[in-house]
Structure 1
Amino acid sequence: MLGSVISLAFSCLLFVNARAINSLTARDAKPDCKNYHTDFTKGISGWSEIAGATNWEVTKEGLKLKLIAPPNYSEKIDTSTPNKLKYNTAEGEGPTFNASSYMQYGRFSATLKSAKTGGAITAIILIADDKDEIDFELLGKGHKENEQVQSNYFWGKNIVYGKNGASHDVSGGSIFDSFHTYTVDWSPERIKWSVNGETVRTKTRNETKGEYPSSPARVQIGLWDGSKESGTAEWAHGPIEWKTIKEPVTAVIKEVTIECDPEHNNVIN
């Protein structure tokens, strides 16, 4: 999927200067990993804000992430594409947070409401310094497309675009009007994606033919604008039509739980 290209680039751009704890790689000693549960109605303890400094607030529902429109932009048509795809010349600014410690295998769950607007992507991912990545990406509703939940993964040593993603239906209300819990359970043998306790996808190491994310990674949550590149805008059900939308572009993170695999991490409680 073309949007995965920019999704990955977005993550890499944000973290290209990040320093790994003790220069961790998959071959080094076990990472220090902290088990914790964050109730975002009470604050952001345990999380580092790395983008969108003014675009969030703690509310009675949780951590509200807000996407801010670019101050100057124009709407364009990409005439080089067969379907004359639309895009914006600038992207909005959204907040992104990292968990404070790395994890090499384990489990995390995030309960949230995603952004409603097409073109906005609510991201809940594991991101490693060597570009290994495991994702949930939630797409808004727009341009005749309904909201959508997608899973994906990347192996940093041989990144393949448009191959490893999948889409999933979610019951129990819309993903932007109702809270849903998204879980990634990551072991040396397989990755399991679940929504509201129901497994929606499993990928084994054998199925990846060894191209399997295995490096220490941090949990990341964020909200970003996929409108600037025409292919990504189409994938994200955008671009965002800033001049016509009548409500803020927001997502709400209620809580996150991180559980480290004690066999592969030095667990800190």
Structure 2
Amino acid sequence: MPALTHNICPLFLFLSFTLLSFGFCSPYARPTEVPASMNASSYQTIQHSNHSNASESVHGRGNSDRHCQPFYTTFSDPSTVADSNSNPSNSPFVALSPPETYAITSNGLEMYLQRPKGEVHSANGMNDNLGEAATINSTFWMDSGKVTYEASCDYVPGVVCAFILIDAVQVSDGELHLDEIDVELVGSGSARWQTNIFKPSKADPEPHYGQFDTKEQYPQNPSYTSFHKYSISWDSEKIVWGVDGQDARTIRKEDTYINGVPHFPGESDSLRLQLGIWDGSGAEGTSTWAGGPVNWDTAPQKIVATVRSVSVEC
């Protein structure tokens, strides 16, 4: 996301991170309370997720920990994604959003951005009412490896589809880790896909939004409305993004220094997978970046991001 947009980006990040940090923490995090939507038993279970009994559409999972383990799913079984109100101990993914925002279909995992309830008024490049949308996290972590998302996204100006790696946990000193490695499909144009990283530091006078984002091309079928395989390969020294089996971008740790401070994500923590679609119309900078605001007079009642498969290689 470019720098000019990030005056509002923290709102989205904060909401996502709050859900992640307090709803679905790792054993290393120390949440202050159990979320109201979950009972204590479910909360403890998700902290120590075990995927050894997962459904047959999910392959290669052992006991969940913070190390990379090979994984593959085509989302052919509804149990692949657990409802946040249920016990997700045998599911590799858990929805942070309501059940009506996603579905397992013959196409794979469909995630929805729904038309806002009530009237929508637009002013100054923003909407005053945003649609409810899907966010889905893995219940497992990666400390390195390669993740590939086979996905498509409806093209609607103002809408963003995101397939990322993220760490948003509160550690013992109260600091919130907000690392991200991103693939984003943005409503400003469907012919390019975007990459980004985010790694805040206490040494920064203010967050460095948009310092590392790029727009990438497709080798064939140049639109994100078609299915493409987006990959993120990550280790302690570099990150490589790819599409359809071709490397598109590499960033090395030494390339992430700003004023002598490194901003290389995942250096001290493992990362989760996160899949989502969201309405970028709520603040001027984000709306401009996303090509918004969403025009709900012409947009579909339900905007769709589809994930056909997810794989993890170690």
Q: Could you tell me the TM-score, scaled by structure 2's length? A: 0.72
Give 1:13's aligned residue: 15
Q: RCO higher in 1 or 2 (8 Å CA, sep ≥ 6)?
A: 1
2:311 aligns with one of 245, 249, 257: 257
Q: Structure 1 residue 218 and structure 2 residue 272: aligned?
A: yes
> Mind listing any 5+ residue stretches in structure 1 that lack a counterpart?
79-85, 261-269
Give the distance between the partners of 1:24 and 1:248, measured in 2 at CA.
35
Cα distance in 2, alignment partners of residues 238 and 162 from structure 1: 18
* Cα distance change on mapping 1:56 and 1:174 into 2, 3 Å: farther
SS at match of 1:102: strand
Q: Residue 93 of structure 1: CA displacement?
A: 0.9
Task: Give CA-to-partner distance per residue, 1:203-255, whole Å, 9 cap, x none.
Answer: 00011122211221101001111011122111001111012225631111000
CA distance in 1, matches of 2:219, 2:275: 22
Counterpart check, 1:53 vs 2:107: no
Aligned mates of 2:216, 2:146 — CA distance in 1: 20
Could you tell me how far apart the structure 2 residues matched to 1:124 and 1:6 are?
Answer: 20
Percent sequence identity over aligned pairs: 29
RMSD: 2.2
Give the strand-richer structure, 1 or 2.
Answer: 1
Query: Using a 3 Å threshold, how does the CA distance of structure 1 residues 169 and 234 change in structure 2: closer, same or farther?
Result: same
**How many residue pairs get matched?**
246
1:230 aligns with 2:274: no
- Equivalent residue letter for 2:178: K
CA spacing shift, 1:109–1:93, aligned 2, 3 Å:
same
| Aligned residue number for residue 154 of structure 1 | 198
Separation (CA, whole Å) in 2 of partners of 1:153 and 1:66: 25
**Structure 2: how far apart are the matches of 1:8 and 1:39?**
32
TM-score (norm 1): 0.84
Equivalence for 2:173: none
- Equivalent residues of 1:12, 1:131 under 8 A apart: no
Whether the aligned pair in 2 keeps the contact of 1:138 and 1:147 (CA below 8 Å) is no
Kept in 2, the 8 Å contact 1:121–1:138? The answer is yes
**What CA deviation, in whole Å up to 9, does each residue of 1:31-88 have, x standing for no partner?**
244421111233324101111421211111111111111112433332xxxxxxx110
Relative to 1, partners in 2 of residues 1:87 and 1:101: Cα closer, same or farther, differing over 3 Å?
A: same
Give the C-alpha shift of residue 177 in structure 1.
3.5
State the match for 1:167 in structure 2.
215
Aligned residues of 2:6 and 2:285 also touching (Cα < 8 A): no
Counterpart residue number, 2:115: 69
Which of 131, 135, 139 aligns to 2:178? It is 131
SS at match of 2:155: coil
SS in 2 for 1:223: strand
For the 8 Å contact 2:120–2:128, the answer to whether it is kept is: yes
Flag structure 2 segments of 5+ consecutive residues without an equivalent: 31-64, 81-90, 169-176
Shift of 1:14: 2.2
Q: Secondary structure at the match of 1:234?
A: helix
2:191 touches 2:218 (CA, 8 Å); kept in 1? no
The AA in structure 2 aligned to 1:226 is: G
Secondary structure in 2 aligned to 1:137? strand
Deviation at 1:188, TM superposition (A): 0.5
Q: Residue 177 of structure 1 aligns with which residue?
A: 225
